[in-house]
């Protein structure tokens, strides 16, 4: 094939990288937001903000369930935590009936919430592009390509530490972008390798079921039943009525059981009001990346402690769960989730600069053709089209996300089908940004017959896209304030989650504004053309 192994790897690296760059960027961008998906869920349901002040959640929830669902088969209480200060009760009225779900306030009153897919939509987009099983296969293929791209990237940059200290912003365009791509890659490389491989492993039974099919008869449920720690056997109702014990007392008693600082996340009551009622507490810890959870069972009438199931299982299962927890970073401490957010954002930079690099490399070649007075307009326009779309897809993702958040506030809370409308706004704005980028480039194609002109047009395309993204992010707190008074309310209550949301958005708006400003000015030394 190519003259050397390293050269063939360069070729594979470049093409894998570009062909999948945009969707990959979208997946990583969504993954970055999804680190805080529960916090975004919270922001997107303003009806729940600040409604639990001074509440005793367990007692409140028990009271509400006794009112709303006295004869239910099963109650579930999702307790508030630092990620979302909300209290949710769920119950199953009868066998094979749909689970009911309500949010309640400190007094136990039901809180009607707007219909929204929230941050969970972004999470689902992250692993399946909202395209069902097809989308999951696409993301799986992308993850595989990403992993090959990463490993071949390591082979190309074998002298990785030397290259890390080599940043040459004064050099010709491809060189400076290559350095930016390399520096950001090396910094986030361990994280990116980890997150890509763990992402592949999470859905192995969908993407690579060879072992399951050929050695276990394809029985996925059977495999997990055999590997996972056994749950408690189902509790049977006796038919004899008996009052339920005080759940707050049970939760208080749980603090004495087991080691580590586990806290109760979910309370499930089987057969409430029956003499055979059972109470199960699911506990988690935010101190351990894995292993920090267990289940406790109590007698529902006397409130006495029965037994405990720790998180054990066969070693491979423990490893598999560790992979999943490492990827989803669900119950980790706040600083760890911020670390994931930052590293994940750096991975987005790696992918985005990789896509830009692809264009910049070819731009230099086409600009040389312009300089030689023999412009091959068709191939040049195709190449510039890719560059314009780069801007539209990458910067447009920011704009679309801000638009999705704004749609959450602007679409009336009672509008029918509003959750779908929010999602449609996201895609519509994203595709519109890509279209705007292409049209603004094509509209000025006459200015692109010379090298300087082409350079200017492409820079203005980028500048406009970053400016749009900055305006959208900058408008978000205003829209929040005008529609729900959310900003002042968050400041007044010092709600940490909402304030962090707005602070992150403000920082983002500033960064986007800076990008727009940099792209609008004359090319820096890095981007200036070498005169032939």
Residue 201 binding another protein, by CB under 8 A: yes
In the bound complex, what is the minimum distance in angstroms from residue 185's beta carbon to another protein? Answer: 17
Q: Which is nearer to another protein, 150 or 245 (CB)?
A: 150
Q: Is 138 in the site for another protein (CB under 8 A)?
A: no
Determine, following the binding rule CB under 8 A, whether residue 374 of this chain makes contact with another protein: no
Q: Compute the Cα dihedral for 245, 249, 254, 256 and give only its sign.
A: negative
**Binding range to another protein, per CB under 8 A, among 205-213, 254-262, 388-396, 444-452:** 205-213
| Token pair recorded at residue 66 | 């006794």
Smallest gap, in angstroms, from Cβ of residue 405 to another protein?
Answer: 35
Least distance in Å: CB of 12 to another protein? 5
Strands 263-270 and 278-284, bridge-based pairing: antiparallel
Single out the residue of 68, 106, 113, 148 in contact with another protein (rule: CB under 8 A).
148
Report the C-alpha gap between 141 and 148 in whole angstroms: 11
Contacting residue, 217, 230, 249, 496, with another protein by CB under 8 A: 217
Measured from the CB of residue 144, what is the shortest distance to another protein in angstroms?
6
Outline where 20-159 has alpha helix (H). Answer: 21-34, 37-43, 57-68, 118-128, 132-156
Stretch in the footprint of another protein (CB under 8 A) among 206-214, 480-488, 495-503, 515-523: 206-214
Beta-carbon contacts of residue 487 (< 8 Å; ≥ 6 apart): 477, 480, 481, 502
Helices 173-202 and 132-156: crossing angle in degrees, nearest 10, is 130
Q: CB 387 → another protein: shortest distance, Å?
A: 18
Q: How far apart are CA 122 and CA 37, in angstroms?
A: 8
Q: How far is the CB of 6 from another protein (least distance, A)?
A: 9
According to the binding rule CB under 8 A, does residue 151 interact with another protein? Answer: yes
- ∠ at Cα 305 (103, 101), nearest 5°? 15
Can residue 226 be called a binding residue for another protein (CB under 8 A)? Answer: yes
431 contributes a contact to another protein by CB under 8 A: no
Touching another protein, residues 292-321 (CB under 8 A):
314-317, 319-320
Rule CB under 8 A: say whether 210 interacts with another protein.
yes
**DSSP letters of 134-199?**
HHHHHHHHHHHHHHHHHHHHHHHTSSHHHHHT---TTS-HHHHHHHHHHHHHHHHHHHHHHHHHHH
Residues that bind another protein (CB under 8 A): 1-3, 5, 7-12, 15, 144, 147-148, 151-152, 155, 197, 200-201, 204-205, 208-217, 223, 226-227, 314-317, 319-320, 323, 361
């Amino acid at each position: 094939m190519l003259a050397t192994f390293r050269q063939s790897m360069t070729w594979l690296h470049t093409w894998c990288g570009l062909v999948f760059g945009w969707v990959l960027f979208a997946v990583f961008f969504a993954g970055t937001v999804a680190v805080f998906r529960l916090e975004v869920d919270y922001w997107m349901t303003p009806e729940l903000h600040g409604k639990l002040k001074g509440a005793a959640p367990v007692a409140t929830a028990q009271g509400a369930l006794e009112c709303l669902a006295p004869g239910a088969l099963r109650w579930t209480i999702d307790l508030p935590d630092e990620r979302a200060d909300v209290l949710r009760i769920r119950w199953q009225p009868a066998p094979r009936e749909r689970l009911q779900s309500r949010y309640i306030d400190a007094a136990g009153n039901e809180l009607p919430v707007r219909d929204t897919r929230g941050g969970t939509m972004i999470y689902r987009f992250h692993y399946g592009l909202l395209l069902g099983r097809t989308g999951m296969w696409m993301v799986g293929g992308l993850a595989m390509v990403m992993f090959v791209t990463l490993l071949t990237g390591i082979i190309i940059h074998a002298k990785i530490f030397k290259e890390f200290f080599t940043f040459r912003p004064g050099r010709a365009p491809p060189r400076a972008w290559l350095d930016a791509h390399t520096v950001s890659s090396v910094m986030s490389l361990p994280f990116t390798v980890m997150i890509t491989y763990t992402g592949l492993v999470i859905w192995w039974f969908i993407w690579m079921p060879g072992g399951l099919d050929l050695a276990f008869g394809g029985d996925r449920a059977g495999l997990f039943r055999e590997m996972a720690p056994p749950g408690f056997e189902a509790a049977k109702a006796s038919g004899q009525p008996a009052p339920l014990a005080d759940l707050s007392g049970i939760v208080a008693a749980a603090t004495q059981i087991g080691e580590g600082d586990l806290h109760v996340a979910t309370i499930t009551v089987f057969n409430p009001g029956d003499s055979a009622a059972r109470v199960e507490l699911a506990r988690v810890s935010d101190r351990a990346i894995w292993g920090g959870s267990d289940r406790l069972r109590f007698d529902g009438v006397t409130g006495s402690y029965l037994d405990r199931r720790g998180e054990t299982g066969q070693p491979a299962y423990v490893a598999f769960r560790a992979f999943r927890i490492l990827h989803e970073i669900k119950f980790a401490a706040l600083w760890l989730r911020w670390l994931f957010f930052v590293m994940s954002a750096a991975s987005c930079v790696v992918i985005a600069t990789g896509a830009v690099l692809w264009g910049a490399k070819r731009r230099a070649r086409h600009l040389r053709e312009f300089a030689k007075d023999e412009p091959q307009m068709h191939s040049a326009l195709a190449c510039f089209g890719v560059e314009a779309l780069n801007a539209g897809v990458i910067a447009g993702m920011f704009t679309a996300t801000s638009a999705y958040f704004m749609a959450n506030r602007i679409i009336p809370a009672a509008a029918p089908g509003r959750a779908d409308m929010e999602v449609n706004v996201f895609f519509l704005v994203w595709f519109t940004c890509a279209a705007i980028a292409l049209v603004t480039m094509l509209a000025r194609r006459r200015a692109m017959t010379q090298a300087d002109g082409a350079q200017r047009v492409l820079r203005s395309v980028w500048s406009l896209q970053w400016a749009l993204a900055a305006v959208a992010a900058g408008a978000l707190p205003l829209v929040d304030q005008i529609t729900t008074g959310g900003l002042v309310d968050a400041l007044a209550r010092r709600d940490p989650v909402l304030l962090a949301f707005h602070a992150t958005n403000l920082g983002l708006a500033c960064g986007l504004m800076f990008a727009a400003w940099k792209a609008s000015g004359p090319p820096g030394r890095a981007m200036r053309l070498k005169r032939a």
